[in-house]
Amino acid sequence: MIDCLIFSSDRAMQLDLLLRSMEKKFFNINIIYKSSNDKFERGYDKLIKENSINNINWVKEKNFKKNVLEVLQNSKNEYFCFFTDDDVFFEKLNIEKVEKQMNNDDIFCFSLRLGENTKKCYTMNTTNVLIPLKKEKNIITYLTV
């Protein structure tokens, strides 16, 4: 099992889509969420109620750094991953493949998002330059500099 932390702000519907697309059996799910007004808060309240049986750790953001550190410190699993509420899974996750890659000492980080379709870094408004080192059955290894 992999611990994960999902960050969400004013987007309960997008978060709902991510949760529906995840194979929850692979993840111990933590969500830090915040809402800017009562309307958004009601969306999260509804989502929390609908997902109450899924053993999700819901953390209403009060102090971002403190909330994140608490989640990380309470992790009991070997691996940890991060998501935002606008992520979504398009195909089934092969958890064995992920764990196998992470057991390789040459691997620093395994991304479920980064791939050949990642063409632009929108936060820096620039083209991504990713040079694959190795491609093997839907797993791409990149060399970092």
Give a yes or no: residue 48 inside a domain.
yes
- Return the structure tokens found at 112: 């479920």
Give a yes or no: residue 78 inside a domain.
yes
pLDDT digits (tens, 9 = 90+) for 31-49: 999 999 999 999 999 999 9
What CATH number does the domain containing 42 carry? Answer: 3.40.50
Look at residues 62, 57, 60 and name the one whose alpha carbon lies nearest to residue 44: 60
Give a yes or no: residue 47 inside a domain.
yes
Give a yes or no: residue 125 inside a domain.
no
Give a yes or no: residue 61 inside a domain.
yes
* 2-9, strands of its sheet edge to edge: 57-60, 27-34, 2-9, 80-84
Give a yes or no: residue 124 inside a domain.
no
Domain assignment of residue 75, given as a range: 2-104
Distances (CA, A) of 135 to 91, 93, 115, 121: 19, 18, 11, 22
Number of domains in the chain: 1
Look at residues 3, 53, 63, 75 and name the one whose alpha carbon lies nearest to residue 32: 63
Q: How many residues are recorded in the chain?
A: 145
> In which region does residue 10 sit, left (phi positive, over 0), alpha (psi from -120 to 50) or beta (all else)?
left
pLDDT digits (tens, 9 = 90+) for 87-134: 998 888 888 888 887 777 777 777 777 777 778 888 889 988 777 777
Give a yes or no: residue 109 inside a domain.
no
Residue 145's pLDDT is 58
Give a yes or no: residue 99 inside a domain.
yes
